[in-house]
Amino acid sequence: MKQLVLDIAPSPPPTLANFVPGRNAELLQTLGNILAGLEREHFVYLWGGKGCGKSHLLQGMAGLCMHDKMSTAYFACDANTSFSAGGDADCVMVDDVDRLNADAQIGLFNLYNGIREEGRALLLVSGSAAPAQLKLKVREDLVTRLGWGLVYQMHELTDEEKAKAMKSHSASRGLDLSQEVCDYLLRHGRRDLPSLMATLDALDSYSLANRRKVTVPLVRELLQVAS
């Protein structure tokens, strides 16, 4: 049995520094303008399919706000999420709003109204669809309010942008990733960015355990083992 390699670098946390904006550069600029006081609107709703980077962006924004000594609340939504901790925050991030049940939708509705009355906090909400297509049938008025502010569709990265993101992620782990390996993963692996990053982490561990360079044959071997 091959000796397991225990000293493996952990994956870096989602930050704005390792977020690849691609066609979402305008959204990133808008969020920066809000934090800098250059944008009047403090309510932003962003939407897109799985793997487009919504959670990464929200977590990155939460980290930036905390770094700037702003009180911050981040909610990774499930059916029963409670928003009681968000009322006094300067920045509120609500991820995957369409997962909320009826009571949680009411909680977010009340939080939204409270923040609007105060007029100072940033509220950043993500969902899988544009406000008009959100399946929050219990609180249609919440859907209406989510559309009152700025609304942005988040676009998935192109293959070229995904390759850039993979190389950046690999470099953060001390791994030199070739374009050939990137192209192979995009052709033969799952193409959403979180899956690609998870594959890179596994590839890094596998190459260390086997004391082999990261090449296409090694990637092919790993994918065969994983399957």
Please calculate the CA angle 143-144-150 and round it to the nearest 5 degrees.
95
CA-closest candidate to residue 58, choices 85, 104, 101, 27: 27
Q: Is 74 helix (H, G, I), strand (E, B) or coil?
A: strand
The pLDDT tens digits along the chain (227 residues) read 233 333 334 567 888 888 889 999 999 999 999 999 899 899 999 999 888 899 999 999 999 999 999 999 999 999 899 998 888 899 999 999 999 999 999 999 999 999 988 878 999 999 999 998 888 766 788 999 999 999 999 998 999 999 988 998 899 888 889 999 999 999 987 888 878 888 888 888 888 888 899 999 999 988 887 76
Q: What order of strands is seen across the sheet that includes strand 122-127?
A: 72-76, 91-95, 122-127, 43-47, 150-153
CA-closest candidate to residue 92, choices 119, 62, 56, 117: 62
Q: Are 51 and 193 in contact (CB under 8 A)?
A: yes
Q: Is 202 helix (H, G, I), strand (E, B) or coil?
A: helix
What pLDDT was estimated at residue 217?
93
Which residues are CB-neighbours of 69 under 8 A, at least 6 positions away? none
What pLDDT was estimated at residue 7?
38
What pLDDT was estimated at residue 84?
86
> Which amino acid appears at position 81 of this protein?
T
What pLDDT was estimated at residue 135?
81
What pLDDT was estimated at residue 11?
62
In angstroms, the CA 18 to CA 222 distance is 25
Q: How far is residue 147 from each of residues 52, 78, 110, 143, 203, measured CA to CA in Å?
A: 20, 21, 16, 7, 42
Hey, what are 63's tokens? 């980290």
What pLDDT was estimated at residue 126?
97
